[in-house]
Structure 1
Amino acid sequence: MKINEIIRQKRTEKGYTQEQIASFLGVSAPAVNKWEKAISYPDITLLPALARLLGTDLNTLLSFQDDLTKEEIGIFINELVSIADTEGIDAAFHMAQDKLHEYPTCDLLLLNTALTLEGLIIMSKTTVQNCRYAADIEEMYTRASKSCDPAVSSHAKAMLISKHRKRKEFDAARRLLNELPDTTLYNKKQLEATLCQEEGNLEQAAQIIEGKILSEISGVQSALFTLVEIAVKEHHLSEAEQLTEIAKETGRLFDLWDCNSHIADFQLAVAQRDTGECLRALEKMLPGLCQEWKPDHSPLYLHLSMKGTNMGSRMLSGILNELEDTENHEYDFLREDTRIQNLLDQYHSAVKMP
């Protein structure tokens, strides 16, 4: 709450009128009224007496809080996504700026806000590079990269490395890469899960291990997809096909989002300029994006509490825009096929286009 709201709430709890507060502090009743309406604020010399009078401390009165908790950040991020859905990316960006101004030293908030805004933009019609907020988001990552929290700093640096790489700023990317820490010799998550198990907290132990499995196997599948891209660029299409099948089988074995497999098939078909295979992949991929992935329905992730999101529909929107973007010449051969165009037209009505 803001100071005006706190003054009003604490005054009401104490049963004081505005006139009584004014009398106790030696100010006018209209002055107190203006404080509570946020028209003006108490003189700094009055703050200690006002806090004592209201039965609170200066930190509470001034709404001072060092940092938000992870839970509070999670709630804010969900609100940010909702605002983007209902009012657009501009409203979400201004909401993010207000929060960051309120908590300028909360590095975890800074990083998650940048990641969320970038994700929202990627799923919209505008590419991050061409978005007017691109420089602001990159500045958020730059600030977060200087965090004293190693996890926040490393994640932010990884995002900056990706941006430098895309701009072919390889020296800058290499400098940041050299600053990233090597993997530790022990696995903290595994140690924590073992400790929880020995303490008898089996549910928490399972949550930790399931989260570890989901994170690490997603990383393995992502790495396999990267190998597919490399094989395609090296014109080793047979190896690319084998790697794609391995990545898909990995997803099936570990109950990952099935849509990833269809995306891999589509990208491979695009590399081969095979219109028929592209169509078959799209016929599976597009409906898959409309279905919610529920990892906690798998025996591998029973203890994970994962709320459903509309990320699939956001990806669907982004993919449709990318396929129909005439400036993206990678898909020119697909736009000439009426079957694919008809399929894309069907799904435009399935998403709320920004």
Structure 2
Amino acid sequence: MKINETIRQRRIERNLTQEQVANYLGVTAPAVNKWEKGTSYPDITTLPALARILETDLNTLLSFKEELTEQEIAIFLNTLSELLEKEGFLKVYEIAMEKIREYPVCYPLLLNVAMFLEGAGMYSKEGKKDLKIHKKEIEALYHRVLNSPNQNEKNYAQSMLISKYIQRKEYEKAEEMLQSLPEKTSVDKKQLQINLFLSRGKLEEAAKLEEEKLFSSITEIQSVLLMLMEIALKQERKEDAEYFAEVSKQAAKLFDLWEYYSYAAHFQLYLAQKDRVKCLKILFPMMKALTKSWEINQSPLYRHIKTKKTEKGFGLKLRKALIQELCEDEEASFLKECEDVQKLLKEAEADEKM
């Protein structure tokens, strides 16, 4: 953000008019107007007083320490990820917020840090507790991103806040923010990039982006199918719910997804129906699938997608977490006393210690 944009934004946030700022500084309102348009700039002797009026510092006013590149943000997030396991959530939170204080209007940083911290808080029981302590500060980051001149960043922050309002049953706030979202949030930039790669003969790059779009699309389709299944169950349309579960299973196989996804929909279906026999019948192969490695680029559909090597024992940890969740979920109470489920939990605990 340039100095003229910073002056205008901070003035509006402070509910000040151009005339008020001019009066405080002993200049004319047209002068302030020119500053905000970028056609002229404040005198250097005026800057300290202007910064105080706008309740900011000179670094921010002059756009020092404001922007980070996408690569720098990605590197910073990777650093936080590495520190999370060693130092824990609170340390990561402290470092993240310190970085934000250095770059208070770098909206991509604010948005990515907010999403990272929320994900990091779910990493462990301690993290969940710490996340609750700082949830207001993290949510405030999304509100700050609403000031971003970048519409995509702003829209994403809005979507995150809408979800939070819905979770808290603040439906009027959710509806108000939902109505403010444009029907089309952005052009398909990725498709334009693909077209450019094709025109320049960069087929590898084009294939990679197209494969990423495919994977993103099928993942979204799976989410839609699960939601349709949930709606059908609530409307007591049993046959439709079973159909959606079967389509999800076949789609997972057709599009070479992780084997686990071929079981997930049916398991949720049987869980909602409290069908103990069918739940247990599908639970065991589903748990086994979690321990199988999945290399997405082994499929011709995703040949150009590069992935990091899966952490050793990740599947076992995920299996244990899922079983633990089932044992704590009231909806799955009919499974809690099952000896086979208890045995699975003990096995998962034993595997994790190995």
Instruction: Output aligned runs, 1:40-51, within 5 Å.
Output: none
Distance in 2 (alpha carbons) for counterparts of 1:205 and 1:116: 28
CA positional deviation for 1:224 = 1.0
Q: Which shows bigger deviation, 193-202 or 146-155?
A: 146-155
Check the 8 A contact 1:210/1:301 in 2, yes or no.
yes
Residue 5 of structure 1 corresponds to which residue in structure 2? none
Q: Shift of residue 318 of structure 1?
A: 4.0
Q: Name the CA distance, whole Å, in 2 between partners of 1:306 and 1:177.
A: 34
In structure 2, relative to structure 1, the CA distance for the partners of 1:94 and 1:163 (3 Å cut) is same
Instruction: Report the counterpart of residue 260 of structure 1 in structure 2.
Output: 261
Quick one: structure 1 residues 320 and 185, their matched pair in 2 at CA, closer, same or farther if it must change by over 3 Å?
closer
Contact 1:316 1:351 in 2 (8 A): no
1:79 aligns to what SS in structure 2? helix
Contact 2:68 2:106 in 1 (8 A): yes
The answer for the alignment partner of 1:270 in structure 2 is 271
1: distance between equivalents of 2:179 and 2:325?
34
SS in 2 for 1:163: helix
Cα deviations by residue, 1:137-158 (Å, 9 ceiling, x for unpaired)? 2222222233222222112211
Please give the residue correspondences for 1:60-139 in structure 2 after superposition, counting only pairs within 5 Å. 65-125=65-125, 131-139=132-140
Residue 24 of structure 2 is matched in structure 1 by none
Secondary structure of 2:231 counterpart: helix
Match of 1:324 in 2: 327
What code does the residue aligned with 2:72 have?
E
CA–CA distance in structure 1, aligned partners of residues 186 and 101 of structure 2: 38
Question: Which residue does the alignment assign to 2:15?
Answer: none
Considering only aligned residues, what root-mean-square deviation do their CA atoms show, in Å? 2.7
Match of 1:140, as an amino acid? L
1:1-354 mapped onto 2 (5 Å cutoff): 65-125=65-125, 131-183=132-184, 187-310=188-311, 315-316=318-319, 318-325=321-328, 328-351=329-352
Distance in 1 between the 2:131 and 2:65 partners? 36
Instruction: Report SS of the residue matched to 1:181.
Output: coil
Alpha-carbon distance between aligned partners in 1 of 2:202 and 2:82, rounded to the nearest angstrom: 35
For residue 246 of structure 1, report the CA deviation from its aligned partner. 0.8
1:67 to 1:321, Cα distance in 2 relative to 1, 3 A: farther
**In 1, are the aligned partners of 2:121 and 2:131 still within 8 Å (CA)?**
no
TM-score normalised by length of structure 2: 0.73
Q: State how far apart, in whole Å, the 2-side matches of 1:106 and 1:308 are.
A: 31
Whole-angstrom distance in 1 between the partners of 2:124 and 2:292: 19
Unaligned segments of structure 2, at least 5 residues? 1-58
* Kept in 2: contact 1:286–1:347 (CA 8 A): no
| TM-aligned CA distance change 1:224 to 1:321, over 3 Å | same
SS of 2:132's equivalent? coil
Post-superposition offset of 1:306: 2.3
Amino acid at match of 1:144: V
Gaps of 5+ in 1: 1-58
- Cα deviation for residue 351 of structure 1 reads 4.5
- Aligned partners of 1:101, 1:339: CA distance in 2, in Å? 51
Do the aligned partners of 2:89 and 2:130 also contact (CA within 8 Å) in 1? no
CA deviations on 1:38-86 (whole Å, 9 max, x unpaired) are xxxxxxxxxxxxxxxxxxxxx9xxxx54322222222222222222222
Note the C-alpha offset of 1:243.
Answer: 0.2
- Work out the number of aligned pairs and report it: 289
- Cα distance in 2 for partners of 1:314, 1:158 equals 30
Amino acid at match of 1:322: E
Give how far 1:91 is off: 2.2
Contact 2:152/2:186 (CA < 8 Å) preserved in 1? no
TM-score of the aligned structures, taking structure 1 as reference length: 0.73
Determine the C-alpha separation between the residues in 1 that align with 2:171 and 2:99: 33
Please tell me whether the aligned partners of residues 124 and 318 of structure 1 are also in contact (alpha carbons under 8 angstroms).
no
* CA contact 1:122–1:318 (8 Å) conserved in 2: no
Structure having greater relative contact order (Cα 8 Å, sep ≥ 6): 1
Q: Using the TM superposition, give the Cα deviation of residue 244 of structure 1 relative to its aligned residue in structure 2, in angstroms.
A: 1.0
3-state secondary structure, aligned to 1:293: coil
Give the letter aligned to residue 327 of structure 2: E
